[in-house]
Amino acid sequence: MTFGATPSPSPRPPRRSRARRFVPLGVAAWMVLEIWLLTVVAGATSGLTVFLLLVAGVLAGAFVIKRAGRRAWRNLTETLQAGGDPAAPGEAAAAGGGTTLPMLGGLLLMIPGLVSDVLGLLCLFPPTGKLILRRVERLLTRPASYAPGTLGDAFQQARMHQPDGKVVQGEVIRRDDPPAPRRQDPPLTG
């Protein structure tokens, strides 16, 4: 029985962004490639060689991250002692990327696998590191089309609406007195 009302169309599920659709597939393909390469190397040499490669990658990555962390800490303390703003980009960061690429390179070295090791070494090698920095900077500074409901839209709104220090009207209730003891009724007997 209808009363002349037209049925409302069923709401379409929101479109998934390309990144949300393809990043899991890319990660899965990367893991399959890493495992396949490790098995190829193990078949050509031995399992001990693969194990030693993985351990060497973890140790080299830990060393690089530790060294980059010390450099970042030293730069921060020097900036604070000189009375500079630690949030402002320093000369080291502007000249060679600071410690971001060495940290990323060390992290990639620590991830088990040969492809991640090669990518980590590319981050650590200065000419390729500068190329990577330029490419990332170009990607981050280009204007993006912000579709409603995406992560980019949230970042755009956060950038547009900066906190301005306004006071929000409200009421604060503070209890300085200790809470009253709980009332205990005598047990009912009956």
Q: What is the mean pLDDT of residues 64-70?
A: 91
Q: How far is CA 94 from CA 85, 98, 107, 133, in A?
A: 15, 7, 22, 10
Kindly tell me if the per-residue pLDDT of 92 is higher than 50.
no
Separation between Cα atoms, residue 147 and residue 17, nearest integer Å: 9
Q: Residue 73 — left, alpha, or beta (φ > 0 → left; ψ -120 to 50 → alpha)?
A: alpha
The per-residue pLDDT for 154 is 58
The per-residue pLDDT for 78 is 86
pLDDT digits (tens, 9 = 90+) for 128-137: 988 988 888 8
More confidently predicted of 183 and 110: 110
pLDDT confidence band for 95 (50 / 70 / 90): very low
More confidently predicted of 183 and 59: 59
Question: CB count, 10 Å around CB of 161?
Answer: 8
pTM recorded for the entire structure: 0.59
